[in-house]
A and B are shown apart, each in its own frame.
Chain A
Amino acid sequence: MADSLSDLRNLPPFVLEKSLQSIGAVCQAAQSLLGAIDGHPISHDTVEPGLEGPNDLDRATSDFANRAARILRYAALQSAEGRGVVEELGDAARASFAGVVPRDPLSLLTFPMRLPLSFGSLLTQELVRGLHALEIVGTTRAPAFLIELVEAFLDYPVFQALQYKDEIDRYRERLRHAPDDATARLHLGRSYTKCGLYLQALDHLALAAGHPTTRAQALYERAVAGTRAGLYRQAIIDGSLAIDAGASKARCQHWMWLSSQKLGGYPPETPVERRIEMATGYAPTRLRYRDVAQEIGLDKTSGGRGTAIFDITGTGEMDVIISAVSGGISVYRNNGDGTFRDASVGSGLDACVNSWGISAGDYDNDGRSDLVVTRLGFFDGQAALFHNNGDGTFTDVTRDAGVQSWAPGFTAGWVDFDLDGRLDLFVPSNLGGVFHRSKRHRLFHNNGNGTFTDVTLDAGLTTWGPAVGATWGDYDNDGYPDLFLSSAFGRSQLFHNNGNGTFTDVSVAAGIDRPCFGMVAYFCDVDNDGWLDLVQYLWCSNDDMIHSLRHGRATEDGQPLRIYRNNRDGTFTLANDELGITECWGSMSGNGADLDNDGRIDLLLGNGGPQMDRSDPLVVLANDGHRFSNVTFAAGLPAAGKAHGANAADLHGDGRISLIAASGGMYPGELLTTSVFRPESLTGNYLNVRLKGVSCNRDAVGARLKLTAGGRDQHLVNNGGSQFGCLPFEQHFGLGLGRKAERLEVWWPGGARQTFEHLPVNATVTITEGDGGYTILKRGPNPL
C-alpha cells in the first residue's frame, strides 16, 4: 500500500491531472447514461437555481459539500445545548437535496448510482485544482496557502449575504458556555475586524493574547485591527510583541511598516531590528500623483469593484461608472468642469447590486455604449446586460436579449469575433466556492436585432476551466480577434479564431498554458513591434507579496505577472526576465496605458486579496522601452490598498492619465474609498484619438492604431483593456518631447485601413470610419 502511494506521488502532475480528468469524464458519462434512462439528464446550463435550493443533482452535491465544510469549520464551537454536527449535516442534506429527491420509481432506482457519480466528478475537479495548487505554490507552501483560500471562500457567501451576525452569535454563544476558549475568542475578534468593528475586535484579541496557544496570532491580528483603527503606535507595539510570541515576522513587520507610514516614521520605542524599509517602488520617474477623488467628487466609499469610463450621453466628456460588491452601481457624470456628480439614483444601474466587472460596448450601434455587468465574482450570480437609453439611464435587457448566464462572474467583454459589424458578448465563468463544479463560458453572437444567440459550443469553446479574465486580440494579425482565457486556478488557454465562427485551442503550441492563479489579462503591444503581446496579471499569497516589497524580487518559486512576447509565428515567449518583471503582486485587476507620455505602454496593477490582513499597494511599472521598473512610491502612490477595477484615463482632457482605483474588499470591514491619482504635471506631449465605426461596430472595438511620431512607431489596440477596469475607447499616445504626430494608420475591424497625416499635438481628435479627415474635440475647462 505504502509503495503504491509512493508510486502515485512520483507520477508527473500532468499524468495525474489527465487521469483525474478521465475519471471525472467517466463519472459524467455514466451519469449522462443514467440520466437518459431515468429521464433526468445532466444540466450544464448556467440557469438560475430554484428559490427552494438546488434543482439538479450536480448542483445539490456541490451545495451540500460547501455547507458541510462550513458546518465542520464550526464543529468545535458546538455546545451541549446546541444542535450537534450530525444534526446540522442532516439539515444541510435536506436543504441541498430537497429539490432533487427522486419521485418516480425509475429515478428511485438510478439515484443511488447517480449520487456517488456526482460526488465523484466533483471530487476529481477538486483534486485537479489541488494538483494545480501544488504545482503553482509548491508542496511546502500549499497547505497554508490553501487554508487561507478556503477560509475566504467559506466566508464569502456568509459575509456577502450579511449572515456574519449568525457567525458572531455562534462565537458569542460558545464563549457564554466556555469563556476561556481562547480560540473562539480569537475568531470572534477576527470576525469583528472583518465587520469593521475594530475596537471590539481589539478587546477580544487582547483577551485571546493572554492564552499561550493563541497569543502569537491574537497579537498579530491586533496589529492588523489597530492599524485599521488608526491606532498606529499600539499596532506597532502589538506587531513587535507578536514577533516575540512567534508570529510570522515578515507579516508583523509589514503591518508595523504600514502603521509607521501613517505616523511618518517608526516611533522611537520600536526596536531598530524590527524596522524595515521596502526595496522596491522607488525607481526614478517624472510621474508624481495626487489623489483628487474627493476634490472632483469621485470619492465613493466602500465595496468598489469594476470600473468603466466612457461618454454616457455624447457630451464629449468621460463619465465614470463604479460597481460595488454589496450595493448598487454608482454612476458619476462629468460636469465638464473637471468635477463629477453622483447620478446613480434613477439611472437604472443603482438597483444592480453585487456587481463586479463592467464593460462598455455599443451592441446595437446606436452611438451610445451599453454595459454588461457580471455579478458576485466568486459565487453564482446572473450577469446583466444594460441598454444605454442615451439620457443617462439604462434599461436591464438581459432576459429580452437572451444573455442569461448564471455563473460566478468576474469579467465579461465585447468583441466582434465574426467581423459582421456587431459586437458579440463573451462571459467567462469563474471559480465559485470551495466545492465548485466548473461551468462553461458563454459566447453570445449578436443577432443584430437586440437579441443574442449562445454559440459557445458551435464555436468550439468547450473549455471548462474557471477563468477570471478574458482578453481578445488578433495576435497573428490575420484580421480576426483571438481569445485568451486567464485561468483562476489552473492552465490558461489561447483560442485561435479560425475566421469561420469557430476557434481552435492552441494553448500548448503557443506556450501559454503553465498553471497559475491567473486574474485578468490584456492584449497590448508592449514593444511597439506591431504584434500583440499578452500581459497576464497573477494573484499571489500575502507572504509572496511582502517578500517582493521587502526584497524587490519574488521568492524562488513566486509567480510574478507574466508578459508573453509575441514571436510573430503563433507562439509566445515568457519575457519576464528580459523585461525586468521580477516581483509578485496579488493582482486582482490591471491595465496598461502610456502613463508618463513617453510613447510606451506602462502597466498598472490593482492588488490585494480578500483577507483582512492583506493590504497591497497599487503598483505602477514604467516601461522604458527595454525594461519595466517599479515607480509606485516614487510617484507618490500610497503603501496600503485593495484596488479593484484599476483603470487609466485622461479624465480631464489635458493629456494627463489619471489612475482610477475602485477600492474595497470582500468583507464589510474594508472601509476604503475610490482613489483618483492624477499626475501633478504633464510629463510629455500627447495625442488622444477617438474612433467612430461605420461599417464596423460603432465603438470600433478591435481597431488597431499605428502612430508614427518623431520617427518612432506606436501601436495601440482598442479593446477595452482587461475588462475589470474597462479602459476608455479613447486611445492615448504619449509623444514625449516631440511636437509632431506625422502619420496615423487606423486598421478598422473588418479590414478597412485609413491613413492620416500631420495630426495635431496635445489634442483629442475624433475619426469616423471612411471619412478622410478628423475633427478636434473641445473638452471642458479644467480647474485642476
Chain B
Amino acid sequence: MQAIGDILENLMLPAVDPAKGNCASSLEAALAGRRGAIVVFWSSACTHCVRYDGYFNQFEAAHPELAFYGVATRFSETLDDVRKAAADRGLRFPLYHSPDGAAAATYLAQQTPRVYLLDAKRVLVYRGALDNFKYPEDPEYQPYLERAIASFLRGEPVERQETGSFGCAVRSVYYSLPLMIERQH
C-alpha cells in the first residue's frame, strides 16, 4: 500500500543521456538542496506525455525549489527508443531509464504520465495526473499538479492530494500478443 504522507522509495536509475549532465545519481541526490521533487513516470510512446514536453523542459526553471525526476519505464521500451524520442523532440529535462516497468511497480504507477510530488524527505504530498487537459483554453481546466505545488511551497495543506489514473498503460496486456505493425528493420 502507498498512502499520502508515506515516505517513498529512493530511486537510483541510470540517466538516459549522461552526457547532458543534468541527472543525479539518485532521487535522494536530486533532492539535495531542494524543497522537494516531482517524479514523473513517462514514456516515449505515450501520446499524452507529448503534450507536456514543453512543460517538463521548463519545469526546473519555473520551480527552482523542486527537482525533476522523469522515469522512462514503459514495458518493452528500449533505451534507444527513449534516446531517439528525446533527440527528436528536443527533451531537456532529467530523464532516467527503468526497463520493463520496474520503477513504476515500486511506485505502484500503472499509467504515463503519472506524477508524484514529494517533499525533501521523499514524503508523498500528491500523486496522480498533471491536469485534466482536453484542449487549450478549456474553461474547465484543472491544473492539479501546479495547484498542489503552489500549496506545498506555501507550506499549506494540499487540498486535492490525489487524482485519478490517466494516460497510457505502462504495461498493456497487448504485449503478450504479436505486434500488429511490423517494425522497420
Of B133, B135, B183, B185, which is in contact with the most chain A CB atoms at under 10 Å from its CB? B135
Q: Is B177 touching A49 in the complex (CB atoms < 8 A)?
A: yes
User: Closest approach, in angstroms, between the C-beta of A161 and any C-beta of chain B?
Assistant: 4
* Closest chain B residue, CB of each to CB of A168: B47
Set of chain B residues within 8 Å of A163, measured between Cβ atoms: 45, 179-181
CB neighbours (8 Å) of A2 from chain B are none
Inter-chain contact A673/B173, CB cutoff 8 Å: no
Q: Is B137 an interface residue (CB 8 A)?
A: yes
Residues of chain B with a CB closer than 8 A to A476's CB:
none
* A328-B178 CB under 8 A given contacts A196-B51, A341-B162, A350-B108: no
Would B164 and A330 count as touching, CB distance under 8 A? yes
Which of B45, B110, B138, B184 lies in contact with A83, CB distance below 8 A?
A: B184
A553 is an interface residue with CB less than 8 A from chain B? no
Q: What per-residue 1/0 map shows which CB atoms of A659-689 lie under 8 Å from chain B? A: 0000000001101110000000000000000
Alpha-carbon distance between A375 and B165 when the two chains are bound, in angstroms? 17
Given A63-B178, A163-B180, check contact A381 B173 (CB 8 Å).
Answer: yes
Asked if B136 lies at the interface with its beta carbon under 8 angstroms from chain A, I say yes
Q: Which residue of A lies closest to B107 (CB)?
A: A345
Q: Within 8 Å CB of A51, what residues of B?
A: 176
Contacts of B108 in A (CB 8 A): 345-346, 350
Residues of B within 8 A of A624 (CB): none
> With an 8 A cutoff between CB atoms, is A781 at the interface?
no
Name the residue in A92, A164, A344 with the highest tally of chain B Cβ atoms < 10 Å from its Cβ.
A344
Knowing A327-B168, A351-B110, say if A346 contacts B2 (CB, 8 Å): yes
- Assess A294 versus B162: contact at CB under 8 Å? Given A196-B51, A197-B47, A229-B136: no
The answer to whether A197 touches B110, judged by C-beta atoms less than 8 angstroms apart, is no
List, in ascending order, chain B residues with CB within 8 A of A548's CB. none
**B176 contacts A49, CB within 8 Å?**
yes
Known: A230-B137, A350-B108, A351-B110. A299 touches B174 (CB 8 A): no
- Residues in A with CB closer than 8 Å to B138 are 230
Task: Write the chain B residue with the least CB distance to A71.
Answer: B182
Picked from B111, B134, B164, B173, the residue with its CB within 8 Å of the CB of A342 is: B164
Tell me which residues from 100 to 158 in chain B have a Cβ below 8 Å from any Cβ of chain A: 108, 110-111, 127-129, 132-138, 140, 142
Q: Using known A-B contacts A163-B181, A326-B111, A328-B110, determine if residue A354 contacts B169 with beta carbons closer than 8 Å.
A: yes
The answer on a CB contact under 8 Å between A70 and B128 is no
Are A162 and B135 also in contact (CB < 8 A) when A350-B108, A350-B110, A354-B174 are? no
Q: Chain A 187-206, CB within 8 Å of chain B: the 1/0 string? A: 00000000111110000000
Q: Is the CB of B128 within 8 A of A342?
A: yes
* Known contacts A166-B183, A195-B47, A197-B50; A300 and B164 CB within 8 A of each other: yes
Is A382 touching B173 in the complex (CB atoms < 8 A)?
yes
Which of A327-372 touch B at CB < 8 Å?
327-328, 330, 341-342, 344-346, 350-351, 353-354
User: Does A283 make an interface contact (CB < 8 A)?
Assistant: no
Smallest CB–CB gap between A39 and chain B, Å?
Answer: 25
A301 and B132 within 8 A (CB):
yes
A301 to B166, CA, bound (A): 6
B162 contacts A342, C-beta separation under 8 Å: yes
B163 at the interface (CB under 8 A from A): yes
On whether the beta carbons of A158 and B110 are closer than 8 Å, the reply is no
- Confirm or deny: A240 has a beta carbon within 8 angstroms of a beta carbon on chain B: no
| Residue of A with least CB distance to B127 | A345
Q: Are A70 and B133 in contact (CB under 8 A)?
A: no
A300 nearest in chain B by CB position: B164
Within 8 A of B (CB), among A148-189: 157-158, 160-167, 169
Residues of B contacting A88 in the complex (Cβ-Cβ under 8 angstroms): 182
- Assess whether B171 is interfacial by the CB under 8 Å rule: yes
Q: Is A596 an interface residue (CB 8 A)?
A: no
B12 close to A (CB within 8 Å)? no
In Å, the complex CA distance between A66 and B180 comes to 8
Whether a CB of chain B sits under 8 angstroms from the CB of A376 is yes
Within 8 A of B (CB), among A44-64: 48-49, 51, 53-54, 63
Interface residues of A in 25-81 (CB under 8 A from B): 48-49, 51, 53-54, 63, 66-67, 70-71
B129 touches A48 (CB 8 A): no
Q: Is there an interface contact between A198 and B135, defined as CB atoms closer than 8 Å?
A: yes
By the criterion CB–CB under 8 Å, are A353 and B171 in contact? yes
Q: Which chain B positions have C-beta within 8 A of A96?
A: 178
Q: How far is the CB of A200 from chain B (nearest CB, A)?
A: 9
A668 close to B168 (CB less than 8 A): yes
Q: Which of B133, B176, B181, B183 has the most CB of A within 10 A?
A: B181
Residues of A within 8 A of B169 (CB): 326-328, 353-354
Scoring B165, B172, B183 by chain A CB atoms within 10 A of each residue's CB, the highest score goes to: B165
Nearest-CB distance from B176 to chain A (Å)? Answer: 6
The 6 A-B pairs of least Cβ separation, nearest first, read: A300-B164, A230-B135, A161-B174, A327-B111, A328-B110, A195-B47
The residues of A with any CB-CB pair to B shorter than 8 Å are 48-49, 51, 53-54, 63, 66-67, 70-71, 82-83, 88, 91-92, 95-96, 157-158, 160-167, 169, 195-199, 228-230, 294, 299-303, 324, 326-328, 330, 341-342, 344-346, 350-351, 353-354, 375-376, 379-382, 668-669, 671-673
16 cross-chain CB contacts under 8 A: A70-B180, A92-B182, A157-B180, A160-B172, A166-B183, A230-B138, A299-B164, A302-B166, A327-B169, A330-B165, A342-B163, A345-B2, A345-B108, A353-B172, A668-B48, A672-B134
- Other A-B contacts than A163-B179, A353-B110, A376-B174, 13 sampled, CB-CB below 8 A, are A161-B172, A161-B175, A197-B51, A228-B135, A301-B166, A302-B167, A324-B165, A328-B110, A344-B165, A345-B2, A353-B172, A353-B173, A381-B173
